Structure 1
Amino acid sequence: MEIGKKMALLVGCNYPNTPHELHGCHNDVLAMREILITRFKFDPKFIELLIDKPKNSIMPTGANIKNTLTKMIDRAEKGDTLFFHYSGHGTLINKNSSKQEEAIVPCDFNLITSADFRQLVNRVPKGAAFTILSDSCHSGGLIDKETEQIGPEKEKENGVNQDSYKTKEIPFESLLQYFTSLTNKINRDIGTHLLEVFGEDASIMFNELQPIEKKPLKPDEGILLSGCQTNETSADVEINNMDNGRKPCGAFSNAVQMVLKENRGPLSNRQIVMLARKILMMQHFNNQHPCLYCSDENADEMFLSPPQKTCHVHEI
């Protein structure tokens, strides 16, 4: 198969000067940008970078992230490689009394939900590869209905004292309190608040004017490499780095980057997750377990390589 374009969107949200401020997310995507260029031969002009530095003209808002991903998918053709790396907060939202849904939290808190990611995945053209690396809390279910290849750990060991790092999570109650202060509505339905604040830019999960596509998945669609299990949190930490000394970073992003630097040959999605797990265990992050959800075929597809037969979506 002819190798096509390589395109990437890298998003790092540190939420500066807020109660939820993180410190390593900008570093995560800047380091990944270098790896994409030097190891995977991405052309810098096809790498979009969105980080929430105060003076940036284009910020990683929910609308900007979704619009950029949509444009990237619209340009994609058979044989292309697409990559989305997100480092920032995640959350679990109460869709109704019996079900919670995973979401990432852009800098303006305009949540991008599993329904939005499902719709994006369904639009990827056949024969294109779409990899999503999500270093955020509760990231195990960002794409639904995928086969579990590397799943939850049944037993957890004692890990790093949580006081020594920040979790990449904004609890649902904190989000609800924030939006209630904006809308002055006493309502536990987060969708009501999101629609009032963001209008048509709110997640399709809550927007009845943009119905969620019910397109069934084909066997080879959707690869999710998640930073942790759905019921776990991911860590924002300082880790000693041989090249740059001690620096803030996301524990999972850093582990993936270490795997790529220490193993120069091609690595499959399965190998990336298993090796990243080993690194997190060596660093005593025993309560954070990256997972892999995808078809049997895609589990052994090479990370950030064009699909050999059909359309693939990789999500980390």
Structure 2
Amino acid sequence: MEQAQNGRRLAVLVGCNYPDTRNELHGCYNDVLAMKELLKSERFGFEEDNIEIMTDKHGSSNMPTGVNIKKALSKMIDQAKPGDVLIFHYSGHGTLIDLNKSGHLYKKKKEEAIVPTDFNMITNLDFRNLVNRLPKGATFTIISDSCHSGGLIDKEKEQIGPSSDNNTTPEDVLSQKKKSKNIQFETVLEHLSSLTNINTQDMGTHLLEIFGADASIRFREPNLEDAFKPLKEDEGILLSGCQANETSADIEEDGGKRSYGAFSNAIQIVLKENPGPLSNRELVIKARNILNKQHIEQHPCLYCSDENANSTFLSQA
């Protein structure tokens, strides 16, 4: 849905590098800082005061824990009005939760989730709940540069997914060091088990023990999935860094002098090379082509309504 340009523009930008851990990444801070500068440009018109940045950098006063991220997103959704343009850009680890290994009977066997710095995962059901609360006439764009991010808004319509083709020829790129933004289910379970000292493979048991009412809706209300189904075509727009069964890359170039998320960087390149308006569909297709040329084996996807697929990215004038 194309929005009037007099609406407010609100952003939450999250970068998790997980410093001093075995899961450490290097480009996520850079991704959100680059996105901040892009949003503040005349092209998109976001004001500094309407952009909230969260990183797990040492000394950060706004750590991207699961609670803090959900609070920031809820605040943004709750203050949104018709005509507003909202964006959440996340760069960090993602995971595919294996609900089949849980002791509970869930309707789904797998669940996509982002992994905040404290491992209090935010699942696709949480994002569906946020989108359902969006007021009519406002849009909520999620850019998730993380693994298994396809389908991160539960039940959103696939516009560009696994069946989409790339028709570009790979080209040589600078020497790169690539690291996956994936945390295996078993790694997350091991970490949470060390905190609870409970002997179970049920992820929900550990999360509820540690985080209680701040854990994901998925584990607090496992039988209420139907309550969060979209009632109509909504204004949620997901640009995912890869398909649900793929991993996204954290890239280091020139011996670590430059680091970035592959998908975040591709978006920056596309927008720089195409100064005019681009639809969400065009942006994702062009980002796919860039990653293909760079020999980076991940396929960005687009999930949204038919109308929003062809609407201009962030309602650029």
Q: TM-score, normalization: structure 1? A: 0.89
Q: Does 1:194 align with 2:192?
A: no
Residue number in structure 2 paired with 1:282: 293
Measure the CA separation in 2 of the matches of 1:155 and 1:132: 23
Q: Render the CA deviation track for 1:74-95: whole Å, top value 9, x for unaligned.
A: 1100000101000000000022
| Counterpart selection for 1:104 from 90, 96, 114 | 114
Q: Does 1:172 align with 2:191?
A: no
Q: Does 1:230 align with 2:234?
A: no
Measure the CA separation in 2 of the matches of 1:207 and 1:198: 10
Q: Does 1:205 align with 2:215?
A: no
Q: Which amino acid aligns with 1:140?
A: G
Judged with a 3 Å threshold, the aligned counterparts in structure 2 of structure 1 residues 132 and 155 are, in CA distance, closer, same or farther, namely closer
Measure the CA separation in 1 of the matches of 2:165 and 2:288: 14
Q: Render the CA deviation track for 1:166-209: whole Å, top value 9, x for unaligned.
A: 10010000001111111111111101000001111100111139
The offset of 1:222, in angstroms, is 2.6
| Counterpart selection for 1:50 from 48, 54, 63 | 54
Residue number in structure 1 paired with 2:105: none
Once the two structures are overlaid, the 10-residue window that deviates more, 196-205 or 221-230, is 221-230
| Counterpart selection for 1:34 from 30, 33, 37 | 37
Once the two structures are overlaid, the 10-residue window that deviates more, 198-207 or 212-221, is 212-221
Runs of 5+ in structure 2 lacking a partner?
102-107
Q: How many equivalent residue pairs?
A: 300
Root-mean-square deviation (Å): 2.4
Measure the CA separation in 2 of the matches of 1:45 and 1:52: 20
Measure the CA separation in 2 of the matches of 1:93 and 1:158: 33
Q: Render the CA deviation track for 1:210-235: whole Å, top value 9, x for unaligned.
A: 95533434124432211000000000
Judged with a 3 Å threshold, the aligned counterparts in structure 2 of structure 1 residues 257 and 2 are, in CA distance, closer, same or farther, namely closer
Q: Which amino acid aligns with 1:226?
A: S
Query: What does 1:58-207 correspond to in 2, within 5 Å?
Result: 58-97=62-101, 99-153=109-163, 164-207=177-220
Measure the CA separation in 2 of the matches of 1:147 and 1:112: 20
Q: Render the CA deviation track for 1:99-128: whole Å, top value 9, x for unaligned.
A: 110000000000000110010010000000
Contact 1:80–1:306 (CA under 8 A) maintained in structure 2: no
Contact 2:270–2:283 (CA under 8 A) maintained in structure 1: yes
The offset of 1:294, in angstroms, is 1.6
Q: Render the CA deviation track for 1:37-75: whole Å, top value 9, x for unaligned.
A: 013110001100000111012200000000000001111
Q: Does 1:254 align with 2:265?
A: yes
Contact 2:65–2:120 (CA under 8 A) maintained in structure 1: yes
Residue number in structure 2 paired with 1:14: 17
| Counterpart selection for 2:307 from 297, 309, 314 | 297
Contact 1:220–1:297 (CA under 8 A) maintained in structure 2: no
Contact 1:220–1:298 (CA under 8 A) maintained in structure 2: no
Contact 1:136–1:233 (CA under 8 A) maintained in structure 2: yes
Aligned to 1:173, the other structure's residue is in SS state helix
Aligned to 1:238, the other structure's residue is in SS state strand
Query: Which runs of structure 1 show a deviation greater than 6 angstroms over 4 or more consecutive aligned residues?
Result: 154-160
Q: Render the CA deviation track for 1:257-289: whole Å, top value 9, x for unaligned.
A: 11111111011000110110111011111x200
Measure the CA separation in 1 of the matches of 2:253 and 2:16: 19
Aligned to 1:289, the other structure's residue is in SS state coil
Aligned to 2:78, the other structure's residue is in SS state helix
Runs of 5+ in structure 1 lacking a partner?
308-316
Measure the CA separation in 2 of the matches of 1:37 and 1:164: 30
Measure the CA separation in 1 of the matches of 2:316 and 2:232: 18
Taking only the aligned residue pairs, the percentage that are identical comes to 63
Aligned to 1:297, the other structure's residue is in SS state helix
Q: Does 1:265 align with 2:273?
A: no
